[in-house]
Structure 1
Amino acid sequence: MDVPPLVDSVAGDDPDLPRVLVVGDSISMNYHDAAKAALEGVANYYRNEGNGSSTDHGVKNLEVWLGDYREKGRHWDVIQFNHGLHDLKQPYDATTGTWGDYAVPLEKYRENLEREVAILKKTEATLIWCSTTPVPNDNTGQYSRRKGAAVEYNRAAMEVMREHPEIQINDLHAFVCKTNAFDQWRMGNDVHFWSQDLQGLLGEAVAASIAKGLSDRRK
Structure 2
Amino acid sequence: MNKTILGATLLFLVFLTAFSSRQPNILIIGDSISIGYTPFVKDHFQGKAMIAHNPGNAQHTGTGLKKIDEWLGDEEWDIVQFNWGLWDLVYRNPDSKAYGNRDKVNGIVTYTVDEYAKNLDSLVTYMKSKTDAKLIFVTTSYVPSEEAGRFTSDVKKFNKAAKAIMKKHDVEINDIYRKSVKIHREYGLGSDDVHYSKEGYEKLSLVINSFLEKEINEIQ
Aligned to 1:133: 141
Aligned to 2:202: 200
Aligned to 1:190: 193
Report the CA distance between 1:99 and its aligned residue: 4.7
Aligned to 1:18: 24
Give distance in 1, aligned partners of 2:106 and 2:83: 24
Structure 2 gap segments, 5+ residues each: 1-20, 97-103
Give distance in 2, aligned partners of 1:38 and 1:53: 25
* Counterpart AA for 1:16: R
Counting only pairs closer than 5 Å after superposition, residues 129-208 of structure 1 correspond to structure 2 as 129-140=137-148, 144-165=149-170, 167-179=171-183, 182-183=185-186, 185=188, 188-193=191-196, 195-208=197-210
Counting only pairs closer than 5 Å after superposition, residues 49-88 of structure 1 correspond to structure 2 as 49-68=55-74, 74-88=75-89
Report the CA distance between 1:182 and its aligned residue: 3.6
Bigger drift between 204-213 and 129-138 goes to 204-213
Aligned to 2:215: 213
Over the aligned positions, Cα root-mean-square deviation in angstroms equals: 2.1
Give distance in 2, aligned partners of 1:137 and 1:184: 16
**Percent identical:** 31
Aligned to 1:33: 39
Q: Are 1:124 and 2:132 counterparts?
A: yes
- Runs of 4+ in structure 1 off by over 2 angstroms are 91-94, 97-101, 181-187
Cα 1:125–1:175 shift into 2, 3 Å: same
TM-superposition CA deviations, 1:188-210 (whole Å, max 9, x none): 120011x2211111112112212
Structure 1 gap segments, 5+ residues each: 1-14, 69-73
Give distance in 2, aligned partners of 1:182 and 1:64: 36
Aligned to 2:15: none
Between structures 1 and 2, the one with greater helix share: 2
SS in 2 for 1:124: coil
| TM-score between the two structures when normalised by the length of structure 2 | 0.80
Q: Which has the larger radius of gyration?
A: 2
Bigger drift between 200-209 and 58-67 goes to 200-209
Give distance in 2, aligned partners of 1:39 and 1:182: 27
Note if contact 1:168-1:213 (Cα within 8 Å) is conserved in structure 2: no
SS in 1 for 2:91: coil
Give distance in 2, aligned partners of 1:177 and 1:186: 12
* Counterpart AA for 1:102: V
TM-superposition CA deviations, 1:139-159 (whole Å, max 9, x none): 22xxx1122221111011011
Equivalent pairs, count = 191
